[in-house]
Amino acid sequence: MHKMPIKPRKASKSPAILSHEFFIQNHPDIVSCIAMVFIIGLMIQATSSLAFTFIGIHHNVTQSPEFQDPNDGPLDVLYTYGIKDLCTIFYYCLICIIMHAILQEYFLDKVTKKLHLSKAKHSKFNESGQLLVFYLISIVWGIDIILRQNLLLNVTSLWEGYPHSTMMFTFKFYFIVQLSYWVHCFPELYFQKVKREEMSEHIQTATLGIVAISAIYLLNLNRVGICLLTLHYMSEALYHVARIVDYLDKDDNGSKGTHMASNSMFVLVRLGSIILSVLTFWYGLALSDNQIINVAEGNFNTKTVRLSVLASICAIQAYFMWNFITEQLQQMREQKALDASSKPKAKIDKKTVKKIKKEEKREDDDLPEVDQNTKKTLRTRAAAKAK
């Protein structure tokens, strides 16, 4: 017998080097190599100082041990902000890109393969998964700092002793990571091939995050800022939990409950954020005697700045609330249209049926007996066919 030669399988064509597709497919490895260059540079004496500029936390303002009072207990390492923070934000932005790729490849992609979601739902599920992890880490980290600084039980500490120009290591590192994460969202638009019509929403969220956190950081409003951020992240985390449950729960057993909890939390957080802001900026900081702008000391406590910040926070809360109400109304309209299309056709009223039968009887009475019998037979056949 003549054997047919077996054709070898064609290997998938790899993208051309330095092409867009090449960078998109291999961006985790490329970024990892760049991050490793800084780590290796830290080990070499000639480049260690330059590498540390990107990796380390700078602007240490801790007093020297000889100037520290021995009765004050252990030495607190304190930091302020400065220009070198931009280098640190760049490096940890690279780390955020790497962590994003790891979470996507080793967890989210495996889950979405089992769910068999559409392209639109697939991208939303990935977005919610990424943001949920970030929000949960930020919430735990934020609560830890709030408890350590005793900001929860001692509310007056939010404004007492302003300007809060010095921060503990974890406090400063928290804000560095926050800024790094929102900055990394911009290159991710390219790496994740986000559609143009979806870009505006991502850009708005990331820009708002960068602007808000930068203002908190530069105006030395870190204490009230971390409380507002933690509150906001709690609301957002619950929203993304509800969205993930919506995709996982196909029978709608738990999705309604999580959406209700998310909506309630959203409204409470908006209200809580406004109350906390009014308490701090309208009442607390207004009690201070030192109400002059002093950039060297980091003091920006003037009436104009306070009211501008308060107005900005209220405007952001109003913007969130407007989007929330718009989304709820749209969902209600969609649900109403869905219920209307699924309803069975309205049954004919009994009185109308009786009326029709009476009219048919009158018509039959006017006809001769033979025609009456013929008409009745035809109606019976028609009724039998209809059944």
Buried-state track 234-272, b at ≥16 Cβ within 10 A, e below 16: bbbbbbbbbbbbbbeeeeeeebeebbeebbebbeebbeb
Higher pLDDT, 216 or 259: 216
pLDDT band at residue 309 using 50, 70 and 90 as cut-offs? very high
Q: Encode pLDDT of 66-108 as tens digits.
A: 555 555 556 678 999 999 999 999 999 999 999 999 999 999 9
Instruction: Assign 152 to helix, strand or coil.
Output: coil
Buried-state track 5-16, b at ≥16 Cβ within 10 A, e below 16: eeeeeeeeeeee
- H helices then E strands: how many in the chain? 12, 2
CA distance 235 to 60: 34
In the block, tokens 């009326």 appear at 355
CA distance 225 to 280: 11
DSSP label at residue 5: P
What is the predicted pLDDT for the residue at 346?
Answer: 47
Q: Encode pLDDT of 157-183 as tens digits.
A: 999 999 999 999 999 999 999 999 999
Amino acid at 245: V
